Structure 1
Amino acid sequence: MSDPAPQDRQPADDSRHGRLSARVHPPVASAPTGLVPMTGADGALVAMAYAPEPAADGAAYRLVVLLHGAGGSARQGLDLLLPVADAQHLLLVAPHASASSWDLIAGGFGADVRRIDGLLATVFDGYPVRDVTLGGFSDGASYALSLGLANGDLVDAVVAFSPGFAAPPATHGRPRIYVSHGVDDRVLPIDMCSRRLVPHLHSLGYDVTYEEFPDGHEVPTSVRESATAWLTMARRPS
């Protein structure tokens, strides 16, 4: 699957504010199922996707954009929820960051917003989508929170595994939020990160489900299962 020139998907100043322009619409083409590489205009791999077989009743997918941690890869992002994608009818898209981590961490929204926006437009063209979720681990979780809060008019849920922070330039809408963090995390210590972040999100009026677990900087199977169960209940009304 080709990603149609994601850098052309929106004006640069919109991307600097973390705003996504792609919107859900009826698909205009039939896209493949299974593991799908997504390439840019130059043919380079920019993301991996996984699409379960269409539902027997024609139900649309929940799209989950999964963001890897610093120094990670699209495949590592995809693996966060790949084991449950078929059972939960989740359409997964995992981009590569344009650098070793996401642009906000490096100094401000820009290239990665444009890349994700282009990927979303491609997915909406090819698949029936009802709900949009942003998720990620570590730096990817911080980015998912920041981008999700800036785009709550598109994103209805955010899943953040071991985040460090949330820094949206401005907020739109009220996405539901799931946060998990290991109490023995030595990379992003819980006291400096989620134990500060979650109360702050609550104070701003966000609906946050928070889970601590007794391990370190990781996503245990039990946490993935909890997040998936929460996600299947976080659907917008029909």
Structure 2
Amino acid sequence: MSANSYTYKRLPGKPGGPLLFAFHGTGGDENQLLSLGRDLLPEATVISPRGDVSEFGAARFFRRTGEGVYDMDDLARATAKMTRFVAAHVEAERPSAVLGIGYSNGANILASAFFARPGLFDATVLMHPLIPFEPDVGGNLAGRRILITAGRRDPICPPDLTNRLAPHLRAGGGDVTLEWHEGGHEVRPSEIEAAKRFLAATRTEEATHA
């Protein structure tokens, strides 16, 4: 069953409220962003899956053949599996809004699922994503909000690739916000605050259209 295709944790929130999916980075697990999700959006139900690929014992969502070199066939497999997982939980929860947050490898699988089925998510927070290919977006991004956070000295996610991603998503109709810090691949407090503001704005917009 797609809803149980990953090991995951669920923090229940307000019935009928927002549903927030949280995706960990390489070596993390379903606990890594769980409490962050609750802090960012206290009324949301938070669902956090564990990646189903092991890289020398470190959990990931898809395979790679080197740093920044993706196994594109496995990425396609993981993307299809993740979109089914998300869709199954959305159907079960019937939330007021569907949101996603991911860090590093988690941001990459979230981005790939979003590219494949933009209609699944109302808003996404991509923290230090690395998209070393031209995204093939499977639909219109109009009305979809995306926050990208990144470090200007990130050795894993080069700033030039981040700078290439944002305008590509804007060209597809996405409402993209880019938040930089002066460090590397670490998540800094300014990113957390940006995510909190971003999700709060999504909640306000949701209430306006209710």
Q: Could you say whether these structures have the same fold, taking a TM-score greater than 0.5 normalized by the shorter chain as the test?
A: yes
Counterpart for residue 154 of structure 1: 120
Residue identity in the other structure for 1:176? R
Q: Distance in 1 between matches of 2:86 and 2:35?
A: 18
Mark the CA change 1:195 to 1:180 in structure 2 (over 3 Å): closer, same or farther.
same
Residue identity in the other structure for 2:76? F
Specify the SS of the correspondent of 1:195: helix
Q: Distance in 2 between matches of 1:177 and 1:84?
A: 16
Deviates more, 1:194-203 or 1:107-116: 107-116
Specify the SS of the correspondent of 2:125: strand
Q: Distance in 2 between matches of 1:144 and 1:135?
A: 7
The answer to whether the aligner puts 1:176 opposite 2:145 as a matched pair is yes
The answer to whether the aligner puts 1:94 opposite 2:48 as a matched pair is yes
Specify the SS of the correspondent of 1:71: coil
Bigger Rg, structure 1 or 2: 1
Q: Select the structure that is richer in helix.
A: 2
> CA contact under 8 A between 2:90 and 2:98: conserved in structure 1?
no
Q: Which of 109, 112, 116 is equivalent to 2:76?
A: 109
Q: Which structure 2 residue ranges, 5 or more long, are not aligned?
A: 55-59, 64-69
Deviations 1:72-94 (A, max 9, x none): 211113244232342xx121111
Deviations 1:39-71 (A, max 9, x none): x48xxx70112123x3xxx6x321111111123
Deviations 1:141-184 (A, max 9, x none): 12212211322222111110011117654422422111010112
Mark the CA change 1:230 to 1:115 in structure 2 (over 3 Å): closer, same or farther.
closer
Q: TM-score, normalising length from structure 1?
A: 0.69
Q: Distance in 2 between matches of 1:71 and 1:224?
A: 20
Q: TM-score, normalising length from structure 2?
A: 0.77
Runs of 4+ in 1 over 6 A off after TM superposition: none
Mark the CA change 1:170 to 1:195 in structure 2 (over 3 Å): closer, same or farther.
closer
Counterpart for residue 13 of structure 1: none
Q: Which structure 1 residue ranges, 5 or more long, are not aligned?
A: 10-39
Aligned pair count reads 190
Deviations 1:183-225 (A, max 9, x none): 121222222x212211222233321011101222122222112
Specify the SS of the correspondent of 1:223: helix
Mark the CA change 1:182 to 1:111 in structure 2 (over 3 Å): closer, same or farther.
closer
Q: Which of 50, 54, 78 is equivalent to 2:11?
A: 50
Mark the CA change 1:116 to 1:76 in structure 2 (over 3 Å): closer, same or farther.
farther
Specify the SS of the correspondent of 2:168: helix
The answer to whether the aligner puts 1:201 opposite 2:155 as a matched pair is no
Q: Distance in 2 between matches of 1:119 and 1:151?
A: 10
